[in-house]
Amino acid sequence: MDDSQIDAYLTRIGVVRPVRPDIEALRDLQQAHLLSVPFENLSIHLGEPIVLDEGSLLDKIVDHRRGGFCYELNGAFAALLTALGYPVRLLSARVFDGDRAGPPFDHLALRVDLDEPWLVDVGFGKFSRHPLRMEADGDQHDPGGVFRIVRDNRHGDVDVILDGTPEYRLDPRPYELSDFVPTCWWQQTSPQSHFTRSLTCSRMTESGRVTLSGAKLIHTIDGERREQLLDGDAEVLDAYRKHFGISLDRVPTVAASA
């Protein structure tokens, strides 16, 4: 990324360039990203290819002011952090379904090494607002909940637990963005992927979250959930613009075959 791309990205998330790559600035960057860039899978239902390279991710998220899912959001954020001087590693994670961990590369998360290693994730939907200490024992209190990082001494994997529930299992080895391409392709094409079977656009807010799932608009404010069923395509398109800054020509719909 060159200076103009860095400035455009920082403008996209509404922060000024950090003076130095430290943990205080990292907290601000993560929180600003979560407040500005939605977690969404609209491309899958609009017939738009998802391409995992830096140029394509910046074009989508920064230039066209869209969001994305984990490979896109954390992939782009890793590029920004690296350009700002942060040492970043891309980690593969297996997302839990109940007590069972999913396949490798099911999720992309970030490790940022400062005075100690930090877990950074802007691509998991409802998660931590701030970076998490990867080597801390005990509870870590965050506005998103109470987190624990549990290490498996047999294999070196790391389980991330939120409010007592396992979220995902991290492989501590670093990977390249290209390593996630096969699973990203599966996620956007397979009828068995929950991304092809559902439609979501969700963004953290100062008091909770706002989510648009199909024609259902959901506001969670201080823990209270409020649902509204939108009436027709015009209202849905307006909600994408109003709540997520996304301008679409048509409403995305889940394909019947998915």
Give the Cβ contact number of residue 147 at 10 Å: 21
Q: State the DSSP code for 68.
A: B
Render the burial of 15-49: b for 16+ CB within 10 Å, e for the rest: beebeebeeebbeebbbbbbebbbbbbbbbbeeee
Catalytic residues: 70, 107, 121
Angle at 71 between CA 236 and CA 144, to 5 degrees: 70
**Measured distance CA(162)–CA(96) in Å, rounded:** 12
**Measured distance CA(209)–CA(219) in Å, rounded:** 6
Residues facing residue 255 across a β-bridge: none
Strand order of the sheet with strand 208-213?
A: 39-40, 201-205, 208-213, 216-221, 224-229
**Measured distance CA(179)–CA(171) in Å, rounded:** 13
Q: State the DSSP code for 179.
A: G
Give the Cβ contact number of residue 152 at 10 Å: 12
**Measured distance CA(209)–CA(192) in Å, rounded:** 27
